[in-house]
A = this chain, B = another copy of it.
Amino acid sequence: MTGRRRWSTDEILDTAEDLLRTSDAESFSVRKLAAALGTDPSSLYRHFRNKTELLRAVADRILLAAMEGYRPDGTWKQRITALALCLREAFGEQPQLATVWGRYASGGTGSRLVMEELLQALRAAGVPDEQIPVLYHRLVVLIAALIAAEAGVSSITAEEYEQGLEQFRVAVLGADPERFPALAFFAREVRPLGADRRAAFEEIVDGYLAQIEAQIP
């Protein structure tokens, strides 16, 4: 019954993408992918040298799909913000993928489309050519770091979240006003790290773009 079967690399990636999107992406594993394909884990190792290489390939497909739905529009700042939000949404709650993208970039067409759009937007902004590579680099580091961090936060279990929130409350509300005057003063206003993520993301990116703008001659 277990007729053996050659899987194409693309079929493997399709299934991996599905598996990462549905269910809890944090627990994606080579073994689960093999089970979903109905094959043995070891057979995947002829297609990919290791798990990272597999995830990197999936990340590139996700970038590719995201860029298909993206049309450059508006000012250079609006374009970059839209792109960043688009990537944020594409990687969504998938910390493994976001981390892999942030760590190694990804080598395919998806990656190229992102690079191309960012470089063009910076040119459109009027940034001098010789400053573009370094500003581009900072921007990608920033966006990748924010997305990976956020995907991590959104993937924690409800139990862990409660635990963390409780500790945060204790730290803030229980702070000695003598030793931590500012903290005591703002105690009721200060928000835990995970709060209000989309707004935080957008304003940080926008803030950095404004900073770039200020440097344009």
Q: Which residues of A contact B (CB under 8 A)?
A: 49, 52-53, 56, 99, 102-108, 111-113, 115-116, 119-120, 123, 129, 132-134, 136-138, 140-142, 144-146, 148-150, 152-153, 156, 160-161, 163-164, 166-168, 170-172, 175, 179-183, 185-186, 189-196, 200, 203-204, 207-208, 210-212, 214
CA distance A214 to B211 in the complex (A): 10
Tell me whether A163 and B104 are in contact in the complex, defined as CB-CB below 8 angstroms, given that A115-B172, A136-B190, A195-B137 are known contacts: yes
Contact check: which of B52, B123, B180 meets A116 at CB < 8 Å? B180
- Please list the 3 inter-chain residue pairs (A to B) with the smallest Cβ-Cβ separation, ordered nearest first: A107-B167, A104-B164, A145-B149
Contacts of A115 in B (CB 8 A): 171-172, 180, 183, 190
Q: How far is the CB of A91 from chain B (nearest CB, A)?
A: 13
Contact check: which of B123, B190, B191, B194 meets A182 at CB < 8 Å? B123
Q: How far is the CB of A144 from chain B (nearest CB, A)?
A: 6
Say yes or no: B211 contacts A163, CB within 8 Å: no
Say yes or no: A186 contacts B104, CB within 8 Å: no
Tell me whether A182 and B49 are in contact in the complex, defined as CB-CB below 8 angstroms, given that A141-B204, A167-B104, A200-B141 are known contacts: no
